[in-house]
Amino acid sequence: MNAAITETRPPVATHRYRQPLGRRALLLVGRHSVLIALALMFALPLVFMVLQSLMPITQAKTTALWPSSIEWGNYREVFDRIPLATYFVNTLKVCFFSTIGTVVSCVPVAYAFSHLRWRGRTAVFVLVLSTMMLPYQVLFVSQYEIFTSLGWINSILPLTVPAFFADAFSIFLLRQFFLTLPAEVMDAARIDGASEFGVLARVVVPMARPGIMAVAIFQFLFSWSDFFGPNIYLADEKSLTLAVGLVRFNTALAKTGESNLTMAASVVFVLPILVVFFFAQKVFIEGVTLTGTKG
């Protein structure tokens, strides 16, 4: 069984090397110029944000696109004016627990909906899906009531604990990834005497790493940028998250027109997400192909 998983084939499509060098170079240039043009289009807001974040205040009030002088001091001022470190730690705490919780709780549930056979599976799965079909606005007040009776208001518990009890979105996504895994590998493991938990931990999880990673990224990003939850559930200034802190900072800046600082704060807010995304996608895309394939 192990052989089946780790069996590696050279990830090389040999036909590429048959093309003449000149044509290859041309294709390469063509491909990159298309991609660069597209990527620029997608990254445009970030470019604008960074450019404006570096402008002096007098220029930030105009519609100029290029900074007349580069003011790195804007970033220092943002750090001086809001307790970024505190917010950052608070946000990381929420992100960390909710992401761990989501992965740990959703993987077994998704496994039960994909590779365990039991009566009523489809019906129960539709039930899982149905919990996504009501908008948050009609549910949150009742949830607030539950959290109040649990004594969780003014703590990060409402933002983290529910993540340990599997949400429909993540279960659904994981299940779809698990479905593409070949059943024979799992059957082989079962014949070798592995328990269902053993099959999940040693066979399914390693093979479904990209899917699990995607779910983790989504949860992380959701917790990172969630404004609604922290604003409702947190009271203490020192317990606030970046998303809430940023909105308050921007309200103050809207009065003074310091849009350069607004942009600098936004860059500080968005940058960690992009860093996380960059490394996460590198790990799951390049990692997988290097360690081999399944099937």
Partner 1 sequence: MHVRTHDRHLPGVLALSIALVAGCSGNDSSGSADTGSVSTAAPVSEPAGTGAPGSTTATTGTTTKVEFEPTTLTMWAGVTDSEGVDAFRGIVDRCETDNPWLTIDYVGKDDMSTALSAAIEAGNPPDLVQADFSGELSGIDAGGLIEPIDDLFARDGLDWGAFVPGGKRLVDFNGRHFGLPLSLDSVGLFYNQDALTEAGIDAPPATFAELLAASEKLLVVNADGSIERVGFVPDVDGSYSLFLTQLFGATLFSDDGAKITITDTLDQWVAALQWQKQFYDLMDTDQFNRWADGLGSYDSADNFFITGQIPLYFEGSYFVTWPDRFGEGKPENWGVVPMPGPDGVADADQVSLIPSGNWFMIPTGVDNVDASWEAVKCMALASDEIAAFEKVYGNIPANMAALDTYEAAVVPEIPAIQTFIDLARSPAAKLPGSAVVVGALSDEITSLILDYRRGDLSDDDLRGALEDLQARYQDELDLELGN
Partner 2 sequence: MARRKRWTVLAFLSPWLIGVVVFVLYPIINSLYWSFTVKRYGQPARWVGLGNYRLLLDNPDLSLALKNTAYLALIGLPIRLFVSILAAALLARPRRGNGVYRLLFYVPSVLPAVASGALFFFLLKQGGPVASLLDLFGVEAPLWFRDPVWAKPALIMVGTWALGDTMLIFLAGLVDIPKSLYEAVELDGAGRWARFRYVTLPMISPVIFFTVLTGVIGVLQSFDQAFVLSQAARKGRLTGAPDGSLLTYAMLQLRYFQDGRIGVASAMAWVMFLITLVITVALMTSRRRWVYTATESA
Please choose which of partner 2, partner 1, none residue 105 contacts, taking the beta carbon within 5 to 8 angstroms, the exact cut-off set by kind: partner 2
Work out whether 160 is an interface residue with partner 1 (CB under 8 A): no
Are residues 194 and 134 in contact, defined by beta-carbon separation less than 8 angstroms?
no
Work out whether 131 is an interface residue with partner 1 (CB under 8 A): yes
Q: For the purposes of burial, counting CB atoms within 10 Å of the CB of 23, is it exposed (0-12), middle (13-18) or buried (19 or more)?
A: exposed
Least distance to partner 2, CB of residue 62, Å: 13
Task: Please report, as residue ranges, which positions from 201 to 220 form the binding site for partner 1 (by CB under 8 A).
Answer: 218-219
Please choose which of partner 2, partner 1, none residue 96 contacts, taking the beta carbon within 5 to 8 angstroms, the exact cut-off set by kind: none
Least distance to partner 2, CB of residue 251, Å: 13
How is residue 70 written in tokens? Answer: 């580069």
Please choose which of partner 1, partner 2, none residue 61 contacts, taking the beta carbon within 5 to 8 angstroms, the exact cut-off set by kind: partner 1
Work out whether 141 is an interface residue with partner 1 (CB under 8 A): yes
Please choose which of partner 2, partner 1, none residue 228 contacts, taking the beta carbon within 5 to 8 angstroms, the exact cut-off set by kind: partner 1
How many CB atoms sit inside 10 A of residue 105's CB?
A: 18
Question: Of 199 and 268, which CB lies nearer to partner 1 in the complex structure?
Answer: 268
| Cα–Cα distance for residue pair 196/190, rounded to 1 Å | 8
Binding mask 161-200 for partner 1 (x = CB under 8 A): ------xxxx------------------------------
Least distance to partner 1, CB of residue 63, Å: 5
Binding mask 237-256 for partner 1 (x = CB under 8 A): x------x--xxx-xx-xxx
How many helices (H) and strands (E) the chain has is answered by 16, 0
Task: Please report, as residue ranges, which positions from 55 to 74 form the binding site for partner 1 (by CB under 8 A).
Answer: 58, 61-63
The DSSP code sequence of 119-158 is: TTHHHHHHHHHHTTSS-HHHHHHHHHHHHHHHT-TTSSHH
How is residue 233 written in tokens? Answer: 């559930």
Phi, then psi, of 253 in degrees rounded to 5: -70, -30
| Cα–Cα distance for residue pair 56/258, rounded to 1 Å | 9
How is residue 128 written in tokens? Answer: 């899982």
Are residues 133 and 72 in contact, defined by beta-carbon separation less than 8 angstroms?
no
Work out whether 153 is an interface residue with partner 1 (CB under 8 A): yes
Question: Of 73 and 287, which CB lies nearer to partner 2 in the complex structure?
Answer: 287
Least distance to partner 2, CB of residue 182, Å: 5
3-class secondary structure, 83? coil
- Residue 103: CA count within 13 A, CB half-sphere: 20
Using CB under 8 A, which of 155, 231, 272, 294 touches partner 1?
231
Are residues 145 and 216 in contact, defined by beta-carbon separation less than 8 angstroms?
no
| Cα–Cα distance for residue pair 93/91, rounded to 1 Å | 5
Least distance to partner 1, CB of residue 196, Å: 27
Least distance to partner 1, CB of residue 71, Å: 18
Q: Give contact residues for partner 1 (rule: CB under 8 A).
A: 58, 61-63, 81-82, 102, 131-132, 135-137, 140-141, 144-145, 147-149, 153, 167-170, 218-219, 222, 227-228, 231-232, 235-237, 244, 247-249, 251-252, 254-257, 259
